[in-house]
Amino acid sequence: MFKRAWGALRQGLAKTADALGGKLRALLHGRRLDAATLDEVERLLISADVGVKAAAELTASLRAEFAAGTVERGEDAIEHLKKAICARCGGRSTAIAVAERSPTVILVVGINGVGKTTSVAKIAHSLRSSGKSVLLAAADTFRAGAVKQLTIWSERLGVDIVRGKDGADPASVVFDAAEAAVARGVDVLLVDTAGRLHTQEHLMRQLTKLRSVLERKIPGAPHETLLVIDATSGQNAIRQAELFSKAAGVTGIFLAKLDGTAKGGVVVAIGDEMGIPVKLVGTGETPEDVQPFDPASFVEAMLGAPEGPA
Amino acid sequence: MFEGLTRRFQDTYRDLTGKGRLSESNVREALAEVRTALLEADVEQGVADSFCNEVLSEAVGERVTRSLKPGEEFIGIVHQKLVELMGPPAGTISLVSPGPTVVLMCGLQGSGKTTTCGKLAQWFRKRGQTVLVAACDLQRPAAVEQLEQVVMGVAALGGSRVAFHGEPDQCAEYGKAVGAAVGVARRALAKAKADKFDVLILDTAGRLHVDAALMNELESLDRAVEAHMRLLVLDAMTGQDAVRSAKAFHEKLEVDGVILSKFDSDTRGGAAISVKRVTGAPLRFVGVGEKPDDLEEFHPERAAGRILGMGDVVSLVERAQEAVKEEEAAELSAKMAEGRFTLDDFLKQLKTIRRMGPLKQILGMLPGVGSALSGIDMEDGKLDRIEAMVGSMTRKERADLDCLNRSRVKRISTGSGSTENDVNGLVKQFGMMQKMMKQFGGMAGAGKAAAMRQMAAAGAGGGFPTRGSTRTASPAAGFKKRKNR
Ligand SMILES: Nc1nc2c(ncn2[C@@H]2O[C@H](COP(=O)(O)OP(=O)(O)OP(=O)(O)O)[C@@H](O)[C@H]2O)c(=O)[nH]1
Ligand SMILES: [Mg+2]
């Protein structure tokens, strides 16, 4: 039932897929492979932030198939890569968890400026359009203007919000929000949190605390903990995923800002090394700009990555 | 910053040092390692390649292959090439006269522009300039309020006048505000002129470099105010896309400098290494925290030193000079010498060190320490706890630890959210420190001064571990063990 909310969004990665026909297509289309082309494939993967290791592994398997004669044409190579990358990053379910008994609690975390608050607005919007009742919790009481920012979104979207004063204890905001969510019988409670660097250990501990406040108030909560990753980020996102998982038990990734030229390839490494699936992608600044993650079109878009300059 | 990268370079150095003389093949091997390390650090691929080629062509020359210390020669070349890659230094910011000097900020969404505006205002304020900061981000909800709070925070620090210009009623929903920002900028400029501000800083909405409409808006903003300095704010953790977007901003706007934000993270600094080469615009500042003071000028030379694990003592000394007041230091060392050093003094010292930045960052500036630290958990939280414990003591207890009995210890531990063991540990370690200080206090002359300095460092900072010995006998280290129990 809940799933249909996301189904409504299923329009494919329109914007990012536009990049298709980019470099890799041009490189591989209608051509027989050779060693130089395979090297170029590796460079393209690196420029999409897949990481040296994953890029090497992916091309190694391609090279092996090529040597064995099982992959000869450019098109075969694309298919092969698509499968290999999908297996790494999209093997797991991308559906958002739903609590057996409402409310479902979704906790949104991430480093500064990645797009947490906007992503919360996007999720709220899509839930609303599928008829769910939503409550927002403004647990970023630290950054200047953060509460106001989420409040403006709540007004624009017509959803309720629970907030404390700037500088209030985020745990108490979360506590109040959990109580309100139960009392008002809402379907989903969405918690926005302050941006923090994964290296700031005391702030990471604060996240653990927020989690346990939710747990105590609502059995099984948070049912989903989404780590927002900026698609422009490089290999450091792996550390983000590791440390946020440790502190907050990340269950899925919201890949934001995929509407730029960055390809977000680092989620391939994250999916592969840590088994955390991407669940949603953000493709703009309005509440409509969110889509369920579709591994196949993601890979297509990624392989269309333009070569970096210099 | 640069974490991991440093270790890789030192491994390479060690490998090469072990090789006796160098041949082209072992240089090539080493460079393959270097290239991987650079890519893992998010250095732009083209930059990593050309860097390695340049090092290669120098390193296979006679000077190196003949040298008896090939490892050192090699690292020397790498250092020089890194400096070339990131340099030359940006030079000082020159103000126009009559003012105001107009500074236009730009960058992708979420790169840290607004926070950086506050830091820049603080930077100018500290140099005696008056600053007006205007909010031209009408797009993101509450961006105007955010900037206002940030700027007011700086203004509250006193000294030169710092003020805010914002027109929240000009805000509109996404896409509808294009153009309105130009009006705000014009009015801000008029105000800056009328009120004789030295500097006008314009915050702008984050935008994608491929968003033609918004990039054009930026251009018209620039034209409307005839900015003297256009600064691009870039997230230090950006991957291969960093240079793509930086280049696009530069092409549109002729950026005068780049500011890398979130440099206090564990980024390996690829963007810092690549951005100059690709855009031609120098890296001017790095942001190292969320507070107004957390902005540092970027020095290619020093950064290269840090990357290679040579430390950055110059920056360390500069920071110490900012954090430590001279009289305070003199008073403290007198107290130590006379054995009057109390927990209160200790706390004061702890705070001083912490003013200089996160512990790991400070220690990373010492030669050889950066890589030794990479495995250690240098948690600032432990210092927090020491502070909390001392803070929970009464004045009497702080002055005389001997009066602590079971119930007092219990009270202190509850008050500070720690265990009784923690409190006892702190007391014990501090007692030892005091005893040692008294011993040194009896010494005379230069030896004493040196010993004092050492004590001061050990007492407050948890001891600076040096290469090879990562264990310290300081209170901070003592707590670490207990905590991992
Ligand atoms: N182009 C684009 N911009 C986005 C996307 N998601 C968020 N943004 C923008 O990124 C900027 C930062 O977004 P926020 O939602 O405030 O980020 P945050 O993580 O909540 O930031 P802090 O709370 O300050 O840590 C804003 O300007 C957003 O409009 C996206 O998918 N695409
Ligand atoms: Mg936010």
Strand order across the beta sheet in which B199-204 lies: B162-165, B131-136, B199-204, B101-107, B229-235, B257-261, B283-287, B295-297
Name the packing angle between helices B24-40 and A52-68 (round to 10°): 120
The confidence score (pLDDT) of residue B360 equals: 63
Query: What single string gives the DSSP state of each residue in A1-67?
Result: -THHHHHTT-S--HHHHTTTTSHHHHHHTT-B--HHHHHHHHHHHHHTT--HHHHHHHHHHHHHHHH
Decide: A16 in ligand 1 pocket, CB within 6 A.
Answer: no
Chain B's closest residue to A205, CA to CA, is: B381
Interface check B44 vs A, CB under 8 A: yes
Decide: A118 in ligand 1 pocket, CB within 6 A.
Answer: yes
A49·B108 Cβ contact <8 A: no
Decide: A103 in ligand 1 pocket, CB within 6 A.
Answer: no
Nearest to A200 by CA among B289, B164, B269, B81: B289
Q: Smallest Cβ distance to B146: which of A145, A202, A236?
A: A145
Q: What is the pLDDT of residues B342-353, one digit of tens each?
A: 777 777 777 776
Residues found in chain A: 310
Q: Which of residues 14-53 of A touch B (CB under 8 A)?
A: 43, 46-49, 51-52
Pocket test for ligand 1, best of A15, A108, A109, A118 (most atoms within 8 A of CB): A118
Q: Which of A209, A235, A270 to mutate to test the interface with B (most CBs of B within 10 A)?
A: A235
Q: State if pTM tops 0.80.
A: no
Interface check B238 vs A, CB under 8 A: yes
Confidence of residue A229 (pLDDT cuts 50, 70, 90): very high
Q: Smallest Cβ distance to B46: which of A205, A236, A310?
A: A310
Q: What is the pLDDT of residues B68-96, one digit of tens each?
A: 777 777 888 888 899 999 988 887 888 99
Q: How many CB pairs under 8 A join A and B?
A: 168
Residues in chain A with CB shorter than 8 Å from the CB of B213 are none
Give the count of domains, chain A: 1
Q: Which atom of ligand 1 is nearest to the CA of A112?
A: 25
Q: Please give the distance of CA B471 from its chain centroid, rounded to a whole number.
A: 25
For domain B101-308, the CATH class is alpha beta
Residue A131 has pLDDT above 50, yes or no: yes
Reduced to 3 states, what is the DSSP secondary structure of residue A161?
A: strand
Decide: A283 in ligand 1 pocket, CB within 6 A.
Answer: yes
Cis peptide before B475 (omega within 30 of 0): no
Between CA B288 and CA B265 the distance in angstroms is 8
Q: Which of A285, A286, A302 to mutate to test the interface with B (most CBs of B within 10 A)?
A: A285
The confidence score (pLDDT) of residue B312 equals: 58
Residue B461 has pLDDT above 50, yes or no: no
Instruction: Domain B321-483: give its CATH code.
Output: 1.10.260.30
The confidence score (pLDDT) of residue A21 equals: 39
Tokens of B395: 């004045």
Residue B351: CB atoms within 10 A of its CB come to 13
Q: Residue A115: which residues within 8 A CB-CB, separation 6 or more?
A: A228, A230, A254, A256, A257, A282, B109, B110
Interface check B208 vs A, CB under 8 A: yes
Under 8 Å between Cβ of A97 and A129: no
Please tell me which of A186-200, B306-320, B447-461 the model is most confident about, judged by mean pLDDT.
Answer: A186-200
The confidence score (pLDDT) of residue B356 equals: 67
Residues in chain B with CB shorter than 8 Å from the CB of A306 are 244
Taking the CA of residue A143 and the nearest CA in chain B, the distance in Å comes to 8
Reduced to 3 states, what is the DSSP secondary structure of residue A229?
A: strand
Query: Ligand 2 centroid vs B287 CA: distance in angstroms?
Result: 19
Angle, alpha carbons A189-A193-A197 (nearest 5°)? 150
Reduced to 3 states, what is the DSSP secondary structure of residue A109?
A: strand
Q: Residue B272: which residues within 8 A CB-CB, separation 6 or more?
A: B1, B86, B236, B260, B263, B283, B286, B298, B303
Decide: A13 in ligand 1 pocket, CB within 6 A.
Answer: no
- Which sequence spans correspond to the domains of chain B? 5-86, 101-308, 321-483
Between CA B202 and CA B122 the distance in angstroms is 14
Between CA B344 and CA B464 the distance in angstroms is 22
| Amino acid (1-letter code) at residue B391 | G
Q: Smallest Cβ distance to A152: which of B112, B141, B210?
A: B141
Tokens of B66: 């003949």
Tokens of B131: 């600053």
Between CA B232 and CA A293 the distance in angstroms is 31
Taking the CA of residue A99 and the nearest CA in chain B, the distance in Å comes to 31
Q: Please give the distance of CA A25 from its chain centroid, rounded to a whole number.
A: 26
Q: What is the pLDDT of residues B254-284, one digit of tens each?
A: 999 999 999 988 888 889 899 999 888 999 9
Tokens of B215: 């990039």
CA max distance for chain B: 75
The confidence score (pLDDT) of residue A140 equals: 95
Query: Ligand 1 centroid vs B294 CA: distance in angstroms?
Result: 22
Instruction: Domain B5-86: give its CATH code.
Output: 1.20.120.140
Q: Which residue has the tokens 């403290």?
A: B332
- Which CATH number is A148's domain given? 3.40.50.300
Q: Torsion angle, CA of A212/A218/A221/A227, rounded to 10 degrees?
A: -70
Q: What is the pLDDT of residues B307-327, one digit of tens each?
A: 876 655 556 666 666 666 666
Report the range of poorest mean pLDDT among A4-18, B80-94, B376-390.
A4-18
Under 8 Å between Cβ of B234 and B259: yes
Q: Smallest Cβ distance to B244: which of A151, A237, A309?
A: A309
Its sign, for the CA torsion A96, A99, A102, A104, is: negative
Domain that holds residue A75: 1-310
